[in-house]
Amino acid sequence: MRYHKAITISEEQAQEITSKRTTALSDVVVISRGERYYDVRAMTETEIKAFVDDLARAEYADMKAAVARPN
């Protein structure tokens, strides 16, 4: 996955960020995927879209690899 400015955070940190008014480059301040949370306040909307696309590709690759592995 490409380097992104997203910062991995805890669920508690995500809740704190979303409950406060914070400055951000876009309306999106936190991204959650499964049990992972990312602080994306320093990212533009274009960067966030690229980050989410990369996360989805990585998740797909992981699922594809899991299916290919024999039990």
- Using CA atoms, how far apart are residues 66 and 21, in angstroms rounded to an integer? 40
Asked whether residue 2 carries a pLDDT value surpassing 90, the answer given is: no
Query: In this predicted model, what pLDDT tens digit does every residue of 34-69 receive, in sequence order?
Result: 899 999 999 999 999 999 999 999 999 989 998 887
Q: Which residues contact 18 (CB under 8 A, 6 or more apart)?
A: 29, 30
The backbone torsions φ and ψ at residue 36, rounded to the nearest 5 degrees and listed phi first, read -105, 140
Single pTM value for the model: 0.82
45: which 2 tokens?
A: 């909307």
Residue with tokens 């997203």: 6
Confidence of residue 1 (pLDDT cuts 50, 70, 90): low
DSSP annotation of 43 reads S
Q: DSSP for 26-50?
A: SS--EEEETTEEEE-TTS-HHHHHH
